[in-house]
Structure 1
Amino acid sequence: MWGVPPALNIQFKCATAYLAVPIATYESFFSRELPQASVRQHQVKLIVYNPVQEAIVKWID
């Protein structure tokens, strides 16, 4: 499905990528079964943030 472009694989082998999502999106979209299953299957790492407070709410590895 989604893959890492080969150039990123070469340049950033030791870096861990996180998908940053606003808390409203996390609570509305990522609380559903399909997005949760996709995140688990593809081992997507998330950073949930509050854009108003400009603060990270949670890290999900």
Structure 2
Amino acid sequence: MDSRPEQTGPIPTPKRRAQNVAMLFIGHAAGMPDLAAFLPPFRRRPNAAERRPLLPQP
């Protein structure tokens, strides 16, 4: 007998995981707001213009 916990369901391989994420994004892009609940909150990286400190306007 081995003491490992029983695996429930298939083990997600990286490819399968990528497909699941892709499906979430496709569904989200198609305007299904319920899928937004499953997506982690993504923070947009600031671009160069936003990172550059703003110069005080005279």
Q: Whose strand fraction is larger, Structure 1's or Structure 2's?
A: 1
Structure exhibiting the larger radius of gyration computed from Cα positions: 2
**Greater relative CO, 1 or 2 (CA 8 Å, sep 6+):** 1
